[in-house]
A and B are shown apart, each in its own frame.
Chain A
Amino acid sequence: MSDQLIFSIEVFLNGLMAGVLYSLVALGFVLIYKASGIFNYAQGVMALFAAMTLVGIMEGQVPFAGLINATFGTEVRNFGWTVPAFAGIALTVGVMIVLAWGVHQFVMRHLVGQDPIILFMATIGLAYFLEGVADLMWGSEIKTLDIGLPMGLNETIDRVTYEMFGYGFFIDNLDIVASVIAALLVIALVLFAQYTKQGRAMRAVADDHQAALSVGIDLDFIWVMVWSVAGFVALVAGVMWGAKSGVQFSLSLIALKALPVLMLGGFTSIPGAIVGGLIIGVGEKLFEFWVGPLVGGATENWFAYVLALIFLVFRPQGLFGDKIIERV
């Protein structure tokens, strides 16, 4: 096999791994969109917020330390304790649930029935708000997130591929773990949606708000629950991205890539989010590898969006989306 082809296979595998992370963020979008028709732009910032909160809690930082110090002239930084990873995650989940409740109570409840575009803009506002709050609470410097996930080159794959092709593939352990966790998460979500009472109620709400309301489903509860689940998905995505490239603002920009993923896969489809994520992940890595050097590189910035744009012109509802029917 030629070198180019072998490199391509490696690039393909790495793209698949990156795609898994896009899928994770996209999954949160789909959940909220299906249940409430809200296109939640803030999903990426929620991932950032969750990751920052996790780091902050684990390191025992004082929330709003900067603001407190500036106002009262004190010098507080840390509580002086550290929290183990799994307790930290539990606490962060708690924070995300409170956040979900707050978002519903103070924002979305007042906007029920508005145009989708108004809801979308409200979530852009929410994204700014959350980003500001996250920075105020935990400081804006780049943080490292270490909850004991395996990192670095996977030696088994390296050795096996070296024996096969005479060239060892570089596959990060973290990516493999991320893929496994993403798969588990999707399975858990599907089980939850299919076999629990709340999951059924959630699907009913997704189908038709009014009908769900009339058979006695508590809409407020379901919506808070959906935002909480999306918050949890955001936390998982934030932890993965954060462990990979540090917890920083660019996290929320990477999450913007979930938008073309969704357009490709269709807003209403969980399998769509996953397949779309993989296509985008592989596509942009391969494009960068083959075409990037010819046009000056860094094509990853726009490839996903342009691909989605071209794709949408031919199939506006995405790969797996519900067919758009328009009536006057």
Chain B
Amino acid sequence: MFYREAGDFKVSYQQDSQTFPIKFDRYRYYFVLVVAFLVIPFFINDYMANALLLPFLIYAIASIGLNILTGYAGQVSLGTGGFMAVGAYAIYKLMTAFPDVNMFILVIVAGLITAVVGVLFGLPSLRIKGFYLAVATLAAQFFLVWLFNRVPWFYNYSASGQISAPEREVFGIIVTGPNASAWATYMFSLIFLTASAIIARNLTRGAVGRSWMAIRDMDIAAEIIGVNPLKAKLTAFAVSSFFVGISGALFFALYLGAVEVGEAFGIQKSFLVLFMVIIGGLGSIFGSFAGAAFLVVLPVALKLVGVDLLGWPTDIVSHLQLVIVGALIILFLVLEPHGLAQLWRVAKEKLRLWPFPY
């Protein structure tokens, strides 16, 4: 009824190539932004922030990062947890070394450091392809976690071997440490997520994104038509690691506060983010959001139903969660390999014809 392009005339190229060509979509997008920036901060409480919103925002950044590498450039990575750890330790070292610098700058620098590390571990991708590469990225995962565990310089020689975020402020508002209020951490992460999504969206539809997709679809053919595989693959690794690093930094500084590296950034985290990307949809920015939301909400919902409603013991519910996540992955790959994003696309197509389908 309202959801159609009829009557929405485009009079410039700019309008023609905008992200949301349908007016309804555009308004929905503005509406979501307004709610996220101007409404939620006033209603947020600690439980909402810590159980749902913060993990969602942070994992969404990580999913966007991995989606660029896996979904757009076709390089499967199982090292996301390791790269998140790089971001976390980078921000920790930066926060303790430069206590007066604005946190925004520090987070971005942490992302850049991760990008450098990502490129380093991305170098083998020029020789190794497909799941050989997936296994090779495991080297990054295990080596980085080991490094942060064993080299005391990274955790400032603290006795416990853990790192914990000191209190820092942005423009006079505390964003890290135990005294940070829920809305401040929420807003800080939200700004990064919004920026990441906009940057990722515009990169992936520009020249760089096209070269990534060409490499993904067929690397040799892409090389023959003039895509430089070295440049395409390494930029994919760099950009992807940049976002993953930012999410790792936020995950540590804002969400967890104190981190034991093997626990927080182990191989399980790599799989979790990969699952978000698969369930959400490979090669879709919206999919990254959907996947992150789904896998953040699922355990909370299961806990509500299983533990609180049915009164099952926690360990059974957590096992059940494994079964459900595993089954969902398989189900998605069998039924809808393009994930939630594809379901959303199909729904939109249906909506355009509604209520008079031919």
A residues engaging B (CB < 8 A)? 39, 66-67, 70-71, 106-107, 110-111, 114, 116-118, 120-122, 124-133, 135-136, 140, 253, 256, 259-260, 262-263, 295-299, 301-302, 305-306, 308-309, 312-313, 316, 326-328
Tell me the residues in window 101-151 of chain B with beta carbons closer than 8 Å to chain A beta carbons: 124, 127-132, 134-136, 138-139, 141-143, 145-146, 149-151
Query: Main secondary structure on chain A at its contact with chain B?
Result: helix
With A125-B327, A296-B151 already in contact, the answer to whether A309 and B136 are too (CB < 8 A) is: yes
Is the pair B127, A316 in contact by a Cβ cutoff of 8 Å?
yes
Provide a sorted-by-A list of 5 A–B residue pairs whose CB atoms are within 8 angstroms. A121-B274, A121-B329, A297-B150, A302-B142, A302-B146
Given contacts A124-B274, A128-B325, A253-B267, 12 further A-B contacts (CB under 8 A): A66-B316, A117-B76, A117-B134, A125-B329, A262-B135, A295-B150, A298-B146, A305-B143, A308-B135, A313-B128, A316-B132, A328-B218
Q: Which residues of A contact B224 (CB under 8 A)?
A: 328
Is the pair B131, A125 in contact by a Cβ cutoff of 8 Å?
no
Contacting B329 at CB < 8 Å: which of A124, A260, A308? Answer: A124
Q: Which residues of B contact A297 (CB under 8 A)?
A: 150
Q: How many residues of B sit at the interface, in one of the four size bands?
A: 35 or more
Residue of B with least CB distance to A296:
B150
Is the pair A316, B142 in contact by a Cβ cutoff of 8 Å?
no
Q: Which of B44-52, B200-208, B330-338 contacts the other chain?
A: B330-338
Q: Which residues of A contact B129 (CB under 8 A)?
A: 316
Q: Does residue B178 face the partner (Cβ distance < 8 Å to A)? A: no
Q: Which residues of A contact B149 (CB under 8 A)?
A: 298
Contacting B136 at CB < 8 Å: which of A111, A120, A263, A296? Answer: A263
Query: Main secondary structure on chain B at its contact with chain A?
Result: helix
Point out which of B124, B146, B149, B315 has the most chain A C-beta atoms below 10 A from its C-beta. B146
Is the pair B136, A312 in contact by a Cβ cutoff of 8 Å?
yes
Q: Does residue B354 face the partner (Cβ distance < 8 Å to A)? A: no
Give Cα distance in the complex from A198 to B52, angstroms.
53
Give Cα distance in the complex from A132 to B319, angstroms.
5
Tell me the residues in window 258-303 of chain B with beta carbons closer than 8 Å to chain A beta carbons: 267, 271, 274-275, 278
Is the pair B319, A140 in contact by a Cβ cutoff of 8 Å?
yes
Tell me the residues in window 306-337 of chain B with beta carbons closer than 8 Å to chain A beta carbons: 310-313, 315-316, 319-330, 333-334, 337
Is the pair B313, A70 in contact by a Cβ cutoff of 8 Å?
yes
Is the pair A136, B319 in contact by a Cβ cutoff of 8 Å?
yes
Is the pair B267, A313 in contact by a Cβ cutoff of 8 Å?
no
Residue of A with least CB distance to B315:
A140
Q: How far is the CB of B119 from chain A (nearest CB, A)?
A: 15
Is the pair B218, A263 in contact by a Cβ cutoff of 8 Å?
no
Is the pair A312, B128 in contact by a Cβ cutoff of 8 Å?
yes
Q: Which residues of B contact A131 (CB under 8 A)?
A: 322, 326
Q: How far is the CB of A325 from chain B (nearest CB, A)?
A: 11
Give Cα distance in the complex from A259 to B139, angstroms.
11
Is the pair B124, A129 in contact by a Cβ cutoff of 8 Å?
no
Q: Which residues of A contact B131 (CB under 8 A)?
A: 39, 116-117, 120
Q: How far is the CB of A302 from chain B (nearest CB, A)?
A: 4
Q: How far is the CB of A321 from chain B (nearest CB, A)?
A: 10
Please list the 9 inter-chain residue pairs (A to B) with the smallest Cβ-Cβ separation, ordered nearest first.
A129-B326, A125-B329, A132-B322, A128-B326, A132-B323, A305-B139, A296-B150, A302-B142, A135-B319
Contacting A122 at CB < 8 Å: which of B124, B132, B139, B333? Answer: B333
Is the pair B128, A118 in contact by a Cβ cutoff of 8 Å?
no
Residue of A with least CB distance to B337:
A118
Q: Which residues of A contact B316 (CB under 8 A)?
A: 66-67, 70, 136
Is the pair A305, B326 in contact by a Cβ cutoff of 8 Å?
no
Give Cα distance in the complex from A313 to B319, angstroms.
39
Q: Does residue B195 face the partner (Cβ distance < 8 Å to A)? A: no
Q: Which residues of A contact B274 (CB under 8 A)?
A: 121, 124
Q: Which residues of A contact B278 (CB under 8 A)?
A: 121
Q: Which residues of B contact A117 (CB under 8 A)?
A: 76, 130-131, 134
Residue of B with least CB distance to A267:
B132
Q: Which residues of A contact B310 (CB under 8 A)?
A: 70-71
Is the pair B330, A126 in contact by a Cβ cutoff of 8 Å?
yes
Is the pair B322, A135 in contact by a Cβ cutoff of 8 Å?
yes
Q: How far is the CB of B307 from chain A (nearest CB, A)?
A: 10
Is the pair B334, A107 in contact by a Cβ cutoff of 8 Å?
yes
Q: Does residue B220 face the partner (Cβ distance < 8 Å to A)? A: yes
Is the pair A111, B334 in contact by a Cβ cutoff of 8 Å?
yes
Point out which of B130, B278, B322 has the most chain A C-beta atoms below 10 A from its C-beta. B322
Point out which of B138, B149, B278 has the most chain A C-beta atoms below 10 A from its C-beta. B138
With A263-B136, A309-B136 already in contact, the answer to whether A122 and B330 are too (CB < 8 A) is: yes
Is the pair B138, A305 in contact by a Cβ cutoff of 8 Å?
yes
Q: How far is the CB of B266 from chain A (nearest CB, A)?
A: 9
Contacting B333 at CB < 8 Å: which of A121, A305, A309, A326? Answer: A121
Q: How far is the CB of B324 from chain A (nearest CB, A)?
A: 8
Q: Which residues of A contact B145 (CB under 8 A)?
A: 301
Give Cα distance in the complex from A67 to B320, angstroms.
10
Is the pair A312, B132 in contact by a Cβ cutoff of 8 Å?
yes
Contacting B322 at CB < 8 Å: which of A129, A302, A306, A316? Answer: A129
Q: Does residue B221 face the partner (Cβ distance < 8 Å to A)? A: yes
Give Cα distance in the complex from A39 to B135, angstroms.
11
Q: How far is the CB of A20 from chain B (nearest CB, A)?
A: 21
Give Cα distance in the complex from A309 to B141, angstroms.
12
Point out which of A122, A127, A128 has the most chain B C-beta atoms below 10 A from its C-beta. A128
Give Cα distance in the complex from A130 to B319, angstroms.
10
With A126-B330, A296-B151 already in contact, the answer to whether A114 and B134 are too (CB < 8 A) is: no
Q: Which residues of A contact B136 (CB under 8 A)?
A: 263, 305, 308-309, 312
Q: Which residues of B contact A107 (CB under 8 A)?
A: 330, 334
Is the pair A114, B337 in contact by a Cβ cutoff of 8 Å?
yes
Give Cα distance in the complex from A308 to B328, angstroms.
32
With A70-B313, A253-B267 already in contact, the answer to whether A128 and B329 are too (CB < 8 A) is: yes
Is the pair A263, B132 in contact by a Cβ cutoff of 8 Å?
yes
